[in-house]
Amino acid sequence: MPTSDSAGCYVYIQLPRSMEVVTCGRIVQQGGVGRFVYGKSYLANPRAVELEKFELPLRPGIVETTRLGGICGALRDSSPDAWGRRIIERQLGRVDPTEVDYLLNSPEDRAGALSFGESPTPPAPIPPYNTLPHLDLLLEAAGRIEQGLPPFADAVSEPVNPGTSMGGARPKNVIEDGEDLWVAKFPSRGDRWNNAAVEGGMLRLARECGLRSAYGKVVSVAGRSVLLVRRFDRRRADEGYLRQRMVSALTVLRADEHPQDRSKWSYVLLADELKRWVANPDADLRELFSRMVFNALISNIDDHPRNHALIAAGTEWNLSPAYDLTPMPQVSTERDLAMEVGSVQQRRANRRNLLSECGRFRLSREDATHIIDKMKATVSARWRETVKACGGTEADLNAIERAFDYEGFEYDSRP
């Protein structure tokens, strides 16, 4: 397994709507400072596309950054988060890998279209993904890793990779079913309800509310529920998978990932950025406003900027499908989301605050009110049935019911 003594690596990209992988640049990280440069041959390629629209536009010269540990946002979005990093640290026997180490030692199931390596020439195609029959082994491996044990009690007879480059803190992996790639989200030791049924229900509920959400399904593995979420940054082709570029809202906002600095964690600021980024801003702004309302209505307080993204199948960027929709019941009668929703009370998730900046989403107050009213009625009437349809029990419903229909949503709290 490679390590990065030089704290640098080459960056490869799978070109849009193509199976061709080319070297596009190089990143060097040292002392918390990162320097990225596009390769001359890539800049001369007529099919070249930017990795990030404004921080990394297609032009010569070195781009220097100190954000995110010295890794440009579009590259950091290709790196694992807590779960994947935990496995890499175990494999390396180190607790202090650099960001470049994480990039180099991650499986090639990462989000987006980028890959990383130590050679100026892209490597050969990757081995096959984990498959559906591996789910029981991967579930067992996830449980053992959570307990601090080796992933497998005995040697397995075929290659099974327990790690993943996909983001998030929960145990997960990427699997293939012969037609699509799926993110398998496993139960965790600290779960207080059936997370697969609840999150699967929220993805279904979001679609019933008219949102563009990722498709998920719940399967039973060794008597436990596992949520499979179809990858929306991959498309099956005869030769393999076409990859779409992907950047998180954290990158789009040029924000810091630490919750202590939330100065740019804002739906309103993200709406302003969409006007610069996306091909169809009116449609995506309405969608973003609707997602903000949905997150408020289900008490999804984990709606941080890494849980929003833009994707590009070709040359144009668009808001990705919604994902990671998880309710969190609260004792209090009011809710604060992770990102600011309005000018009245910043992160407070109530009707007045949601409406306070609707014009920034290119919505009239009448249109925004209609969206809220319609979505609130659907969420209130349907949340129980969608969770039950995904395998949720009465105990699960009772455990999460405080996330819905909370009194504070209609508070008219004036400063």
CB 78 within 8 A of CB 103: yes
User: How many other CB atoms are found less than 10 A from the CB of residue 199?
Assistant: 23
CB 114 within 8 A of CB 74: yes
Q: Confidence class of residue 148 from pLDDT cuts 50, 70 and 90?
A: confident
List of domains in the chain: 8-117 (no CATH), 130-230 (3.30.200.120), 244-410 (1.10.1070)
pLDDT above 90 (res 98): no
Read off the pLDDT of residues 342-369 as tens digits, 9 standing for 90 and up.
988 899 999 999 999 999 999 999 999 9
pLDDT above 60 (res 222): yes
Q: Confidence class of residue 167 from pLDDT cuts 50, 70 and 90?
A: low
Q: What percent of the chain has pLDDT over 90?
A: 68
Read off the pLDDT of residues 172-209 as tens digits, 9 standing for 90 and up.
889 998 889 999 999 998 899 999 999 999 999 999 99
User: How far is C-alpha 314 from the geometric centre of its chain's CA atoms?
Assistant: 20
Read off the pLDDT of residues 223-246 as tens digits, 9 standing for 90 and up.
999 999 999 999 999 888 999 999
* Range in 4-8, 31-35, 203-207, 361-365 the model is least confident about: 4-8
Dihedral angle computed from the Cα positions of residues 225, 226, 227 and 233, in that order, rounded to the nearest 10 degrees: -170
Q: How do beta strands 318-319 and 309-312 pair?
A: antiparallel
Read off the pLDDT of residues 374-410 as tens digits, 9 standing for 90 and up.
999 999 999 999 999 999 999 999 999 999 999 999 9
Q: Indicate the length of the chain as a whole number.
A: 415
The reported pLDDT for the residue numbered 47 is 97
| DSSP state, residue 19 | S
pTM of whole model > 0.85? yes
Q: Confidence class of residue 35 from pLDDT cuts 50, 70 and 90?
A: very high
The reported pLDDT for the residue numbered 157 is 46
Q: Confidence class of residue 5 from pLDDT cuts 50, 70 and 90?
A: very low
**Segment 306-329 mean pLDDT:** 96
